[in-house]
Chains A and B, each alone.
Chain A
Amino acid sequence: SAVISQKPSRDICQRGTSLTIQCQVDSQVTMMFWYRQQPGQSLTLIATANQGSEATYESGFVIDKFPISRPNLTFSTLTVSNMSPEDSSIYLCSVAGTAGVYTGELFFGEGSRLTVL
C-alpha cells in the first residue's frame, strides 16, 4: 500500500485567486492522478501526472485552469487557477496499487476541501 499526504486539508479562498495543492507519496510511483469530488457526485478524473512529461488532461479540464507539476516520482502539485465558486470541491490525489495502474486498486490521499467565496 501507499501512504499519501495532501496539503492543505481544507481552505477557503476568494474568487479570482489561485491555490496549489500538494501531494506527497511515501514511495516512488510512475503515475499520479488528480480527481475532483463534488458533493453527491461521482469522482471525476482531472488529469494524470507523469514524471518528466506534461500531465494528461481529461475532457473538460485544461492546463491553464489546472496546471500540474510532477518534479519527481514521489511528489505532485495541482493548482486551481482563477477560482470561482464552481471550483468549490474536494480534490483528491491518488496512485495505483502495486498490481499496476490498469487495475482498479487506487490509493487516495485524504483530500483537500476547497471553498471559494
Chain B
Amino acid sequence: EDQVTQSPEALRLQEGESSSLNCSYTVSGLRGLFWYRQDPGKGPEFLFTLYSAGEEKEKERLKATLTKKESFLHITAPKPEDSATYLCAVRDSNYQLIWGAGTKLIIKP
C-alpha cells in the first residue's frame, strides 16, 4: 500500500539552529514528491517538486533532497517566521496524490 510518513511530528528549534525534516515514502512508480508549507488558519502553500533521486531544490533557508526512499527538508539558520507545518506529498503511478500528516516546526527567538 502506498504510504507517506513524516517525522518528527513536531520539532522545536532555537532561532539559527539548523535541522532536517524527514518524509519517507512507499509508492509504486513515483511521479514526483512535493513539499508544502501550511501556516495556521491557511491552506497549504507549494514549495518544491522533486522527481528523481539525487535531485535538490533550494529556496531561501530551505533545501529539499530526494532519495529512492525518502526526502529531507533541510532548514538552515531558521528564523521565527519559518514556523509552520510542513507537508510532504507523493504522486504515484496512477497520478494519485498521497499526503503525509506533516511536521509542525516551531522556531523560538
Interface residues, chain A, CB within 8 Å of chain B? 4, 40-45, 92, 94, 97, 102-111, 113
Contacts and interface: CB of A to CB of B under 8 A. Distances in A.
B36 to A, nearest CB: 8
Contacts, number: 53
Given A42-B99, A42-B100, A92-B43, 10 more contacts: A4-B43, A42-B98, A43-B89, A103-B49, A104-B91, A105-B49, A106-B44, A107-B46, A108-B44, A108-B45
A106 B95 contact: no
Q: Which of A44, A102, A109 has the most CB of B within 10 A?
A: A102
Q: Is the interface of B mostly helix, strand, loop or mixed?
A: strand
Interface residues of B, number: 24
B35 to A, nearest CB: 9
B4 A42 contact: yes
Contacts of A92: 43-44
A51 B99 CA distance: 25
